[in-house]
Amino acid sequence: MALGKGAKGDDRTAGIDLLDAAALARLGNLELLAKTVVEGFILGLHRSPYRGFSVEFAEYRPYVPGDDVKRIDWKAYAKTDRHYLKLYEEETNLACHLLVDASASMGYGSGKEGSPQTRTKLEYATRMAACLAFFMMGQRDAAGLAIFDDEVRTFLPAKLRQSHLQRILTELANAEPGGETSLHEPLHRAAEAIRRRGMVVLISDLLGDLAPLAPALQHLRFAGHEVLVFQVLDPHELEFPFDGLTEFTDLETNERIVTSARSARTAYLEGFNRHQDAVKAMMADLGIDHVVFDTSQPLDLALAEWLHRRGRAG
């Protein structure tokens, strides 16, 4: 299924367009293991810290392998000869906020038209956010969205409604790369705006200044959120495969540098690796799970790999 905004001959809605059916099908067999034991992420696996809290029946849903058999409604089974889980409105699942960086640098992509690789990092990020939102909603977790560059452009608080999912997907589909990367301000805003403790997933290339980012992430942690940072990078940023005389134009500042790419490669990679080392060190200090996604990797495989890793760690 062709993904991406404006796909040729596509008359479907923008939100549906974002969903990779194949990816979703593969991811449907995986379990999302929350790092913390307090709040579950995938229905049937997490144990709520708010056990005994008032519950109100909301709906049944079919049993899926992995669900706790103790939660099967045996009465319904007796009637229908099928396994159903009984869900309650107030059965608190995770409130997950997806913070998507839509700065100009996220508009970079080395992927070619027709290649499996997405064209830009923002495309990769929005698809990733869509997938996560879909699963959140699918597992009765509330999903929220914030799209920002140097300021928050869109903020949707976490809700557990199908219509909300559609709204999230619509916003993601309409996301365009904008101004300079300035993560700390939007993160501070988000920390203040998100009242309910939950999970915050930051999807960004993290190419901004790291010094003010740490307090912003600390702010989120202080508010009780589990923070996941998904760093999306293009393979060209990782390998700098350029050669010859090249004029580089900064997507955010329009600054230009003409240099011999071959000779500048070493210096670039040194600087880039230093930056990445600093990012990792900062994330480790803050206890934040940090994952680097290469946009040349298929999104589903990348997420599956991370989930496996997280599952083993949990």
Partner 1 sequence: MSWLNPGLLWLAALAAVPLILHILLRERLTRVLFPSLRFLKGEGRQLLTRRRWLENLLLALRIACVLLLIAAFARPLVGGGSGPTGTSQHEVVILLDVSRSMTIGKRMEDARREAEAVLAKSPGGALLAVATFADVGSAAVGAAKDRDDAAAMIARAAPTGAGTDALAALDRAIDSVRGSTGEIHLISDLQAIGFPRTHEPRHPPTGWTVRVHKVGGGDVQTDGAVAISGGSFPAEITPSERNLAVTARIANSGPERTVDAKLIVDGKELDRRTVHLPQDGEAVASLVGTVRAAGDHPASVSLLAAPIALPGDDSFSFVARVVDKVRVAVLDGNPSDDSASDSAYYVGMALNSGAESPYAAEIERSLGDLKGRDVAVLTAVESLGADDAKRLDAFVRAGGGLLIGLGPGIDPARFNAALGSLLPARMRAWSEGSHYLVAADATHPLVAALIGDGKSDLGAARFSGAADVMDSQDAHVVMRFDDERPALIEARRGAGTVLLFTGCLDRRASYFPLHPLFVPFIRESLRQLASRTQRSRSLAAGETVAVPAGATVVDPAGHERAVAAPTAVSLGQPGIWTVRSAAGPGPGDGAITLYAVNADARESQLAALEVAEVEKLVTAPTQVQVRAVGRGLERVLMPDEKLAAERRWNLGWWFLIALAALLPIELRLAQAASRT
Would you tell me which residues interact with partner 1 (CB under 8 A)? Answer: 105-106, 108, 121, 181, 205, 207, 234, 236-237, 242, 244-253, 255, 257-264, 267-272, 275
β-strands 142-148, 84-88: how paired? unpaired
- 3-state secondary structure (DSSP) of residue 116: coil
Cα–Cα distance for residue pair 154/37, rounded to 1 Å: 31
CA 234/CA 72 separation, integer angstroms:
44
Cα dihedral: 170, 190, 209, 101 (round 10): -10
DSSP state of 111: P
| CA–CA separation, 71 and 286 (whole Å) | 36
CB 183 within 8 A of CB 288: no
> Could you tell me which residues are beta bridge partners of residue 99?
146, 202
- Give the separation between CA 39 and CA 197, rounded to whole angstroms: 10
CB of 129 to partner 1, least distance (A): 19
Residue (of 193, 148, 197) closest to 50 by Cα position = 197
E strands, 108-191, where? 142-148, 152-159
Q: Which is nearer to partner 1, 21 or 257 (CB)?
A: 257
Decide: 147 and 177 in contact? Cβ < 8 Å: no
Amino acid at 281: A
